[in-house]
Structure 1
Amino acid sequence: MAAAAKRRVVIRLVRAFTGMPRWAPVGMGTVVVLVAAYLSFGSMSTVDVRVDGLPAHPITPAAAGSGSVLVAASVPADRLRVLVDGREATTDPRGGALSVRAAGLADGVHELRIVAPRPFPWFGTTTTTRQFTVDGTPPGLQVEDSLHPEAAGQPVTVTGIARGAARVTVAGHTATPGPDGAFSVVVDRPEHEVSVVATDAAGNRVERTLTVHTRHPGMRAVHMTGLAWTSEALREPVLDMARQGKIDAVELDIKDESGEVPYDSAVPMAQQIGAVRGYYHARQVLDQLHGMHLRVVGRLVAFKDPILGGASWRDGHPERVVQTAEGTPWSGGGYGQYAFTNFADPVVRQYNVDIAAEAAALGFDDILYDYVRRPDGPIERMRFPGLTTTPEAGIADFLRQTQVAVRSHHAMLGASVFGISVNRPTQIAQDIPQMSRYVDYVAPMVYPSHWGPGEFNVPDPNRQPYDIVRRSLAEFARAVQGTDVQIIPWLQDFSLGVPYGPAEVAAQIGAARDDGMPSFLLWAPNCRYHDQPLAR
């Protein structure tokens, strides 16, 4: 507006404010008033615009479309026009301001424009612009798939590259990547998995979960039941083998296939259902065996548990028991009623986890599950209440749940599996690659007497212990190839169909060793072992 025109406008306004008639002259004093009015109205011609929720750093597309950007002005909000990249934006009133939603924006620089009308008596509009950057691309994250502490519970160093990340969080510890994205974080007490999250300035994040594997030190072990340990006639020969260096580990039942808990367990449910037998005092046995520098493995029979199954059914909890299609307790395979508990039931799972955790806390070096599977038989005739995934995935997830509890007490976790599981994973719900994600070792029961003629091209497995063990374990090695999981096989020291003595036991040990597996567990139902093949 020209100066003369502005002067005429101000004179008219002053006359209006002061009541001066049109013919009254304007003197020098009035000029001062006119100038003040001019300046005052000049400042009123602008519009104060405020934009909140639009940071200087990039934002995600989701944030741009969330309505978190607020626009307010010194004029009513309903008189504002808001444009993003020249197009009308979607706005909603919010407490005297406008919430701006700009969904679907591509990565890059964008413009927010607010057009506001000038207040009376000024005409036209004022425009305020803000530039902002949208970034919907998460940072690049490169880390190893697994971690290798020296021993369970020992620190690990997590290193990697997080390009474009503003921060990296590793197991709750936050680090700032270098210019090249490199980072390094020490985790003092890693659990079975370590989470690594890289986040950029916009809030985009990418997460990787690293498996913590601890290499088992190896063992040459024999199995003992809880009752056998109370028998001097059975216990002392085992201790003699240890004194002679023929074995370096003992595997001892902590819950057996009858459902009995043979040690002095304090797990509430074990006490409640009458499973605790107290055949041995765990602390005393552990002190004795550790004093002999022996590794102690707790054998925990998971889902074959007639004590828990029977108690659950009687107490009105049929969901804890594997059922037939008609809803009766599964009894196929000669196991008997209530024998198999439901691996999908959270109470059943927690009961086993509680025993595993208690044993690990007491000092058992390993927890080795047995019967960590469904019953064998036609699955279409079985019901697993609460199962929402495949049986194989359900079993693997149970091991994941247990590993957290066991690792927290610095013990290792193993799973005993059928020999057939290596190439028939759905037959009893033991998928070796899935299970291997959550255990430190797999213990396949490759007993020669349990293979049918022709398995792995071995005509008579029971009479060819070396051949069947060598070939079946080679298949297990291929199943876990590329992982840190070890194979520690169960070998046969009993006669079933064919007499087994020192030569047959030695043949199996030699086959495992030739497959690169020097560790083993021997099974004899009567807990009497041939010690000749065990001489180093």
Structure 2
Amino acid sequence: MAHHPRGGSRIFTRRRLRSRLVPRAKITGARMGGGGSGRSAQPRMRRRRLKLTPRAMWALLGMGTVIFLVVLLALLLNSPPVKKLWPAEGSCVSGSPVRMEASLRGGVGLEQLTVLLDGQDVTGQAVVEGSLLHLDVPLPDGEHSLEVQVKGKPEASSRFSVDNTPPVLQVDEWELRDDGKTVLHGKVEGAQELLLDGHRVKVGPDGAFHLEVDRFERSSVTLVAVDGAGNRREL
């Protein structure tokens, strides 16, 4: 029996011996089995990138286009046949004749429409150009109603008023003062605003106004009363 002295070197240390007995996996480099856990290590999987061919890219693009067109068609079919009316609800307009308009959905023709003005059928006076229906009708001052039907079903309506009467503007008295000022006293009725040379003038609750004009600065002035419908009275 051979005898090795205690101070001699060992051929294998415990760590080197273990590494020789437990081989490494050829693919992952992980140790197979052994050592403490009692189960073999799982091999590491490599991630593969997905590459699209030109044909696949065109197919995806075509599918997206079809979906977009289907959604757009659904939105158009669900939109109201009549989108907007003029004169709008509660508005006040002036002029004669009064122009009335309605925005239509694509594909809606005059043969499908019925236009009622104050309950009377005026479809024969209406014209459709593209997606716009319009007609011009002289109307007296006062309230009026407009209704548009599609295939006999009411789709849009509005109540509005016509005002072609200008406001009342009068100057009751004036005074020429020695300091070069001219003082005007007057009253306005039915006006939304009173303008002196384009500048707004303060008017009392009863329509009365008081103005001072410097004769050295202005040889003449323009006084204008304007109502909500745009009618003007000028002095």
- TM-align CA RMSD: 3.0
Q: Residue 86 of structure 1 aligns with which residue?
A: 119
CA contact (8 A) 1:46 1:126 kept: no
Residue 172 of structure 1 pairs with residue 206 of structure 2 = no
Q: Tell me the secondary structure at the aligned position of residue 137 of structure 1.
A: coil
Residue 114 of structure 1 pairs with residue 114 of structure 2 = no
CA contact (8 A) 1:77 1:97 kept: no
- In structure 1, which of residues 76, 86, 89 is the aligned counterpart of residue 108 of structure 2? 76
Q: Residue 408 of structure 1 aligns with which residue?
A: none
Q: Residue 223 of structure 2 aligns with which residue?
A: 196
Residue 58 of structure 1 pairs with residue 58 of structure 2 = no
Equivalent-residue separation in structure 2 for 1:186 and 1:93 (angstroms): 54
Q: Residue 33 of structure 1 aligns with which residue?
A: none
CA contact (8 A) 1:109 1:132 kept: yes
CA contact (8 A) 1:116 1:126 kept: yes
The Cα shift of 1:58 comes to 1.9
Equivalent-residue separation in structure 2 for 1:149 and 1:102 (angstroms): 52
Equivalent-residue separation in structure 1 for 2:210 and 2:130 (angstroms): 46
1:268-287 to structure 2, matched below 5 A, reads none
Q: Tell me the secondary structure at the aligned position of residue 161 of structure 1.
A: strand
Equivalent-residue separation in structure 1 for 2:98 and 2:178 (angstroms): 47
Instruction: Give ranges in structure 2 of 5+ residues lacking alignment.
Output: 1-73
Q: Tell me the secondary structure at the aligned position of residue 179 of structure 1.
A: coil
CA distance 1:207–1:46, change in 2 (3 Å): closer
Q: Tell me the secondary structure at the aligned position of residue 194 of structure 1.
A: coil
Q: Residue 189 of structure 2 aligns with which residue?
A: 163
CA distance 1:48–1:178, change in 2 (3 Å): same
Q: Residue 12 of structure 2 aligns with which residue?
A: none
Residue 102 of structure 1 pairs with residue 137 of structure 2 = yes
The alignment's TM-score, normalised by the length of structure 2, stands at 0.55
Q: Tell me the secondary structure at the aligned position of residue 205 of structure 2.
A: coil
- In structure 1, which of residues 134, 140, 150 is the aligned counterpart of residue 178 of structure 2? 150
CA contact (8 A) 2:83 2:103 kept: yes
CA contact (8 A) 1:170 1:185 kept: no
The Cα shift of 1:70 comes to 2.1
Equivalent-residue separation in structure 2 for 1:110 and 1:165 (angstroms): 21
Deviation string for 1:470-526 (max 9, x for gaps)? xxxxxxxxxxxxxxxxxxxxxxxxxxxxxxxxxxxxxxxxxxxxxxxxxxxxxxxxx
The Cα shift of 1:47 comes to 3.0
Identity rate, percent: 29
CA distance 1:201–1:45, change in 2 (3 Å): closer
What code does the residue aligned with 1:86 have? Answer: G
CA distance 1:51–1:77, change in 2 (3 Å): farther
CA contact (8 A) 2:128 2:134 kept: yes
Between Structure 1 and Structure 2, whose CA radius of gyration is higher? 2
The alignment's TM-score, normalised by the length of structure 1, stands at 0.26
Equivalent-residue separation in structure 1 for 2:212 and 2:109 (angstroms): 52
Deviation string for 1:110-160 (max 9, x for gaps)? 10111123xxxxxx5233210001122222222136552435xx3434332
What code does the residue aligned with 1:205 have? Answer: R
Equivalent-residue separation in structure 2 for 1:127 and 1:134 (angstroms): 23
Q: Residue 28 of structure 2 aligns with which residue?
A: none
The Cα shift of 1:176 comes to 4.9
The Cα shift of 1:72 comes to 0.9
Equivalent-residue separation in structure 2 for 1:111 and 1:99 (angstroms): 15
Equivalent-residue separation in structure 2 for 1:191 and 1:125 (angstroms): 61
Equivalent-residue separation in structure 2 for 1:173 and 1:181 (angstroms): 17
Q: Residue 205 of structure 1 aligns with which residue?
A: 232
1:180-329 to structure 2, matched below 5 A, reads 180-188=206-214, 191-208=218-235
Aligned positions, number: 156
1:120-131 to structure 2, matched below 5 A, reads 124-131=152-159
